Every structure is written in structure tokens, then in C-alpha cells.
Amino acid sequence: MQQIAPEILERAAASIESADAIIIGAGAGMGVDSGLPDFRGNAGFWKAYPRYAQLGLNFVDLANPRWFDESPALAWGFYGHRMHLYRDTRPHAGFAILQKWAQKKSGGAFVFTSNVDGQFQRAGFSAERVLEIHGSIHVMQCTRQCGLGLISAEEFSVQIDDTTMRARDPLPRCPRCSGLLRPNILMFGDRDWDSRRSDTQHDRMEAHLAQLSKSRARLCIIECGAGVAIPSVRGFCADLARRSDALLIRINPREAHADFGGYDHLAITTGAGAALSALDAHIAGRRA
């Protein structure tokens, strides 16, 4: 594991300790230390799902709502496998470290994530303090848009043929109209995603940030595993750092460099779990 320079550890720890609230930005790299794939490029995706390489399908190909019309078994083979993988995955220790820090802050923490895995909620973060900008695999919507709204995916299970990566019948069906259900996830070219849940989460986050600004709370922004290919999380964190004059601690083993410009930035080039553990140990040492 790459060592973090003492001066970086000290400055990051001091920012965390002095903050009144923590804002967490998280991309796919946050889940890697829990054993989840980050789908980095076609090679990374095919390493996680070699069968799709044989079919000539990559992540962008599969993460498309058209398959729920053209090949529901293929669509649910892909999303059903991910749904059960995320259900069975235990969040790594870094989640608990972030939560421990947040619990000591008057303004707590708020999470802004592009992940659909629900790992922050599973780790004990309040659902009221998480914004999932791409939705959640643990929530369903009807492909017929019959007026069902959004429902929990908890009662649904999908059986998958591992040789074909296609789902077996019965597929998840709408309890209102018997139409096919799909995950409430924003896919590529997706015109039918029901964004109401994420919109509500966004409103909560804006209200939280407004309250922190009103009280002149000191922020510390911790970004974990957010890449540059789709820079939604990076853009949010950089913009907030710029507006709030807060330090942005960017944890990313490959892409920890500053981008967008005009903000205070600290790069930690390790994985999220290792970085958060090292920071927590340094904070404990400061108090000893």
C-alpha cells in the first residue's frame, strides 16, 4: 500500500477535526474495498462480468432501458445480479469511520453519491442525509408507467443462469398492472427514469447546505473514489469547496489530481478504505 505523506495526513486530519460538518462525495471507487467492481472502462467491466465480453456487450450497452423492452431476461440478468451482489455486500470499515466522525459534528454529514448500491444506508447513515443522483437498485418502478410510483425492491428476488447471464422467469412484475418492473436507476439514454425520489433527496441536501451556510459552519469535504469519466461527484465537490472556501480531501488511487480549479485541494492517492483508516489513526494519535 502506498504511504500517505505525514504532512498530508496532518492537514487532512486538522481539517476533519476542526469542521462543524462533513460533506461526503462518493463514486464507484468507494465500494471497491468492500469487494464491489468499479466498472472502470471496458476491461474492468469485463473482468467483473466475463460472460458479457463473450457477448460483445459493455457496461454502456447493458445499462440501457431498451433491454427491458427488447430482452427482459438479459436486462434482469444484469441488474438482478447487481441487486443481489449489493444486498450481500458488507460495507468496509471506512464507512463506519466516516459515520464516527460525523456523529461528533454539530452539522453531522451529508452524502452525495453516484452509486446505486445503498451501501451508505446499510452502513448506518440516515436515509435523510443521502443523495443518490442516479437512483437506487433497491427501489423499483413500472416500465408501463401505470401510476404505481416507486416501491421497495426488497420483496423481489431474481434467479440468474450463470452460463448465459440471463434471468429466469418469473421476472419482477408490477403489483398494480402486472407489467415488467425495472430498477429506479438512471440509465444511458433513459427518458423514463422516475426522478422523484432523487429530487426529494436533492431538496433535502440543498436545505441542509443552506442551513450550514446560514450558521457559518466550517465544512470539510471528503471525496472518495469519484472518477473523471462522468464527473458528477467531482464537479459537485469542487463547486462546493469553491463556494464554501472549504478544503476538499480527494481520495483516489488513480485520479486524485485537482480539476475544475479555484478551490483548496488535498490529494490522497490510495483506496478509500486505506485512506480513511490512516486518517482515523492519525486523528487518534493527535489526541493521545
For residue 236, what pLDDT is reported?
A: 97
For residue 18, what pLDDT is reported?
A: 97
For residue 38, what pLDDT is reported?
A: 77
- What total of structural domains would you count in the chain? 1
- Residue 1 belongs to some domain of the structure: no
| Structural domain boundaries enclosing 198 | 6-287
- Residue 221 belongs to some domain of the structure: yes
Q: Which portions of the chain are predicted below pLDDT 50? A: none
List the one residue out of 222, 277, 251 whose CA is nearest residue 16: 222
- Residue 281 belongs to some domain of the structure: yes
For residue 34, what pLDDT is reported?
A: 94
Strands 219-224 and 109-113: unpaired
For residue 92, give the CATH number of its domain. Answer: 3.40.50.1220
Q: What is the DSSP letter of 71?
A: -
With contact defined as beta carbons under 8 Å apart, do 25 and 252 qualify? no
- Residue 10 belongs to some domain of the structure: yes
- Residue 105 belongs to some domain of the structure: yes
What are the beta bridge partners of residue 246? Answer: none
For residue 274, what pLDDT is reported?
A: 96
- C-alpha cell read off for 85: 451482489
Catalytic residue ranges: 134
